[in-house]
Structure 1
Amino acid sequence: MSYVDGFVIAVPDANREQFIAHARHFDAMFLEFGATRVVECWGDDVPDGKLTDFRRAVQAEPGESVVFSWIEWPDKASRDAGMERIMQDPRMPGAGDMPFDGKRMIFGGFAPVVSLPA
């Protein structure tokens, strides 16, 4: 069974192309260090909720879009080893070098309980 890391962030609309370039560069590193797939999704239909929603979860401000991303790994051990290598890699940027506010990122690791074929 696989393992998935999920992320939700708010990205300034003005930084969309910078974010895409950033993602292409660093997503290649995740693949280099054992991930099997990386998906980055720019919010297209992200409604406001009554109690909570994606925008509130990441404190998105006017002029920011929500990005929903995930990384698929063969298993948790591969993910743990890969993430350790990523965090130690000198190519990893400092917080000020990212095209979004990393302090508002929501992330977590998930063990799939249902997985249907595509």
Structure 2
Amino acid sequence: MSTYVDGFVIPIPKKNVNAYKKMAKLGCKTWMKHGALAYFECLADDVKVPYGIGFPKMCKTKKNETVVFAFIVYKSKAHRKQVNAKVHKEFGEMPGAENFKMPFDATKMAFGGFKTLIKG
């Protein structure tokens, strides 16, 4: 079975990690409730790489920032569209949603949808 993945790389102030974790727990609960196959939120740990470019360098993080690598797995691109429509509808209907402030600068977030090339 092929899958489809939404991937995110998010620079975040270290002081906001707990607020982000709270938001991510709600995200996990909501995406999974609406049919996502898997939901991961990962905090940078071992990012001083001997080759290539580590995530902090790629994101041009400041000393007071870290990086979140997150991904959501779906059955297909069509399934992703269905799940995300339900999720966005639910979030839009939440009391106070219009005043919610993200615990990171969304303009620095990288995001994309990915076709699965190999699945183990």
What TM-score does the superposition give when structure 2 sets the normalisation length? 0.83
Using the TM superposition, give the Cα deviation of residue 62 of structure 1 relative to its aligned residue in structure 2, in angstroms. 1.6
| 1:57-114 deviation digits (Å, cap 9, x = unpaired) | 4332221110000001111111011122222332394585111111111010111111
Percent identity among equivalent residues? 30
Q: Amino acid of the residue matched to residue 34 of structure 1?
A: G
SS at match of 1:28: helix
Aligned residue for 1:26?
Answer: 27
Using the TM superposition, give the Cα deviation of residue 50 of structure 1 relative to its aligned residue in structure 2, in angstroms. 7.8
SS at match of 1:70: strand
Return 5+ residue gaps in structure 1 as ranges. Answer: none
**C-alpha distance 85-59 of structure 1, shift in aligned 2 (>3 A):** farther
Show the 5 A alignment for 1:1-118: 1-47=2-48, 52-89=53-90, 90=92, 91=94, 93=97, 97-116=101-120
SS at match of 2:47: coil
CA distance in 2, matches of 1:78, 1:57: 31
Segment of structure 1 superposing worse, 45-54 or 67-76:
45-54
Q: Is the 8 A contact 1:3 1:74 kept in 2?
A: yes
Q: Amino acid of the residue matched to residue 66 of structure 2?
A: S
Aligned pairs, number: 116
CA distance in 1, matches of 2:107, 2:27: 18
